[in-house]
Amino acid sequence: MSAPATPPGKATPPGTATPPGTGTPSGNGTRPSSAALSPAPPVAMVVFGASGDLTARKILPALARLADRGVLDNGFTIIGVARTEWSDQEFRDQVAAATPDAGPRWRELTSRFAYITGEYDHPNTFDLLKSRLAEADRVDGTAGNRLYYLATIPSVFGLVAGALAKHGCSGPGEGGSFARLVVEKPFGRDLDSALTLNQQLHGAFDESQIYRIDHYMGKETVQNVLALRFANAIFEPIWNRRYVEQVQVTVAESIGVEHRGGFYETAGALRDIVQNHVMQVLALTLMEAPTSTDPDRVRDEKVKLLRAIDIPTPDEAVDKSVRGQYLAGTVDDQAVVGYRQEPDVAADSQIETYLALRLRVENWRWAGVPVYVRTGKRLPARVTEVALTFRQVPFLLFDRRTSRDLRPNSLILRIQPDEGVSLEFGAKVPGERFHLRSVAMDFSYAEEFAGSDAADGYERLLHDAMVGDATLFIRSDEVEQAWRIVDPYLVAWSEPGAGLHFYPAGTWGPHMADLLVERSGDEWRNPEIDLHLPGRPTPLTQ
């Protein structure tokens, strides 16, 4: 739902620009295809934390791809800001090292990139930044437009935002149309810190200027949830409690914490995955239809859904959750160590690497439908999916022997890595004997759109921030409501003796997680039952 952009090389005249932080759909109300992103306007992009890992691994490669696809304007440049002592040329060398496969268009743009060494709250840093921005407007044609990207550690988000406002950098430059602030997650560590951070950001920038980025929202399959639900009449009548028996969201990783042990000791699965990625996917899957594709109309419905999720008391939170931590085991035929043996992890760590929740949505559409969420590291497979399981037929004509391989109908939204959608239903097995089993009709992005030039998550979101489309970014009330949902679990787990269950690496989590769903007569849908693995219903094409 990207907004039409200013033609390359031309600044939007003052008074006719899209208001900062808002975006409008293209003329027909739809987002351009990912292979034809609209050109971005001229802009000076200031990256705080420019010498960090996130900038090198994600931001710069995404920008390089946008440049080589002709999306970035001639009036685009980057000004890096960090504590690392680099010259302009050393920064450009680092950019080149981070984007070795970039084409000539990107290399041409990088020749003008600048770098500032300085503290994030020191006046000299921002005096020099103002000077560099004025020079970029004058020499590089950035037209007074500003995009500030906070790729720093979260503890300085508010500090940097406040310093930008204090030194007169929170608005566009002379003749400019916008100044926007892109904030990386995590957006706080709990509800109180999220409220404090939002207060700090709002003291420096208007909410319409703030773009809270979550790369999950840039994934094609996450966005396709909207298309699946609201562009297909066959799904709307059954997308409710009358037909859906349960909803499951699984975010599974086969890797451990890798080199992030120190970070994980301060986060855990709830803060790292559930509060952001899971809540966003859940909101898109279960929300009501927005009245239009206007960014705020979409985000209004997401917030309404989050507000409908029951917030437990700390005592209820204990009963509705299972925390786990992986032990040594085997993943992909490789022996791996337990979490407590990972680098930078405490020998008696109580941090969860696995989490299962049972949620309840209290609205007309979903009342009484259990929503199960789980995420974990060192599970048997890397897979993210949303599964809607439908109710059984009211009366099954066929006896148990005939239908023993028949499972409930399911609609599976596969977000990664095998992106696509599957519909599972019952069919007769060919042969003289009448025997039923579950089969699957499968849609695969890789097969259907082979050769398409799809933008990845960071490409999509960086482009949208430049053109002012906030649809896929997180609004302050979304952040706060997501924390209200998960905060009771943090409170409950802070008590001495809070339960922590262990599971061998390479399994689907602790046994207590199975009991969490079995209490309601349900069971987990283990994504190892995949179209390409033994045990999954055979596609009709086979």
Q: Would you say 23 and 468 are in contact if contact means Cβ atoms under 8 Å apart?
A: yes
**Residue 362: Cβ within 10 Å count:** 12
Quick one: CA dihedral 378, 383, 385, 387, positive or negative? negative
416: closest CA among 218, 251, 228?
251
φ, ψ at 134 (rounded to 5°): -65, -40
Residue found by looking up tokens 């560099």 in the block: 132
Q: Are strands 321-327 and 501-504 parallel, antiparallel or unpaired?
A: parallel
Of 484, 485, 482, 477, nearest to 210 (Cα)?
477
Q: Cβ contacts of residue 350 below 8 Å, gap of 6+?
A: 498, 500
CA–CA separation, 228 vs 236, rounded Å?
Answer: 9
Half-sphere exposure (Cβ direction) of 192: Cα atoms closer than 13 Å: 3
Q: 252: how many CB neighbours lie within 10 A of its CB?
A: 23
Distant-in-sequence, close-in-space partners of 96: CB < 8 Å, separation ≥ 6 = 102, 107, 110
**What is the set of active-site residues?**
277
Residues facing 48 on adjacent strands = 81, 150
Is residue 249 within 8 Å of 283, Cβ to Cβ? no
DSSP letters spanning 303-354: HHHHHHB----HHHHHHTEEEEEEESEEETTEEE--GGGSTT--TT----SE
- SS3 for 208-246, per residue? HHEEEECHHHHCHHHHHHHHHHHCCCCCHHHCCCCCEEE
Give the type of residue at 260.
R
Q: Look up residue 289 and give its two tokens.
A: 């239809």
Look at the alpha carbons of 449, 452, 457, 460 in this order and tell me if their dihedral is positive or negative.
Answer: negative
Q: Is 245 within 8 Å of 390 (Cβ atoms)?
A: yes
